[in-house]
A and B are shown apart, each in its own frame.
Chain A
């Protein structure tokens, strides 16, 4: 029997554990590691800051999420913060900012 390709795609999509905010648990795990390791070079593995600013929930509490998303995607002129748009999607960035504001997972 030949299965329609769309059915296969549908099957695999539904098989992945998708969270409410649309990212798979696997992707969330990748992003957690990404933030801790790559962002951690400047912001510290514990995100308490270095040459980059502190990214703890406390430090970010007055910053609007939209501004943080823009900073991650496009960088900040006049600072060392580069834009990560070539490597992170909008959805990735939204999730990262949401997680940072709640207190980033280990």
Chain B
């Protein structure tokens, strides 16, 4: 072959190969973020990859994956809270791991094993203290959010049952106060870190109901509401007036009705409130329950496609997005708050585990576990804006949670 011929052959090769390379690069850019040297963190977040001990850091402006962070232990049912500068995420793993992740650098800053079996946590109003709720050993532990040094240990020992109880529904409120529930003992404890965080002041409310399984706190930090699995109704603590004690609300709800089997426990943590109404998943009933916040009386029941798991109000308070337990977990329904009607039903695919709204609610991100996919929808038109490949996604947590109570 002459050198001229060789050159031509090479050139032809480059012309053929180039478009393939360009296409490949485009595909990569569809999911991956464009790097920025200096950036804010208000539009960042993370997605739990429940089966592989990792999280994906995401950007909700570009709607892309920043990077995967590995080495977080057992991330099934993992959840996260954020530092007050919205830069760091504190991830609570099922295996008791507490991991502080820098959203900007994608690095694990610090990681401690704080218990044998954990369910989640909360952060104090001033951002200085992290509280973790544990099943084994049952109790709450407090950590310095800067160093993750443990500063207090509160075993959930019930004087009624003479045993440690698993702790659920740990929520933060104003004045560096927290509230949590004892699943096995039927108690609610108020924990006050305002005077001495190393020796928190405890106020214990006993006989609040059978098997509190999760709780929520309203966005203003006032009402702590624990859902009861073992009986009908919910238990309510007014954080403005703890001296008034825990009151039972909705005792009339579902009385005398046969319950349907619950194949996954509903979650209450994400409060759905709009105007003077609260929206709570029915337990053992395929309906969303509307409660008047002034009287704590039942207002209405909206029949839905299955056992609701999350009932989430979009940030405008106009619509509720509802997902469901097995076997209806391929479905999401949207309820219009004003008319109390289901206005849209979608089927993103098997195992919709979680939904998260962008800070001002123009997008919602939905985890579709078995499809290894997170779908992004426009909340106004319900049109799909895009999807991201994420391994067995579960919880989605955006940094805007940093500035809200009880998330």
Contact = CB atoms under 8 A, between A and B. Distances in A.
Interface of A: 37-38, 40-42, 44-46, 48-51, 75, 78, 80, 82-84, 87
B135 interface: yes
B76 A42 contact: no
Contacts, number: 57
Given A49-B117, A50-B135, A51-B213, A41 B327 contact: no
29 contacts: A37-B351, A38-B263, A38-B264, A38-B326, A40-B76, A41-B77, A41-B264, A42-B264, A42-B265, A44-B74, A44-B76, A44-B77, A44-B117, A45-B50, A45-B51, A45-B94, A46-B95, A50-B135, A51-B135, A51-B168, A51-B213, A51-B265, A75-B261, A78-B230, A80-B229, A80-B265, A82-B262, A84-B263, A87-B327
A80 B76 contact: no
B161 to A, nearest CB: 15
- Determine the interface band of chain B, counting residues with CB < 8 A from chain A: 20 to 34
Contacts of A51: 135, 166, 168, 183, 213, 265
Contacts of B213: 51, 80
Q: Which of A42, A46, A80 has the most CB of B within 10 A?
A: A80
Contacts of A78: 230
The B interface, classified by DSSP as helix, strand, loop or mixed, is: loop
Contact of A45 (B74, B229, B230, B264): B74
Contacts of A87: 327
Given A50-B94, A51-B135, 13 more contacts: A41-B265, A44-B76, A44-B77, A44-B117, A45-B50, A45-B51, A45-B94, A46-B76, A48-B74, A49-B135, A80-B265, A82-B261, A84-B263
B305 interface: no
A38 B261 CA distance: 14
Contacts of A45: 50-51, 74, 76-77, 94
Q: Which of A38, A83, A87 has the most CB of B within 10 A?
A: A38
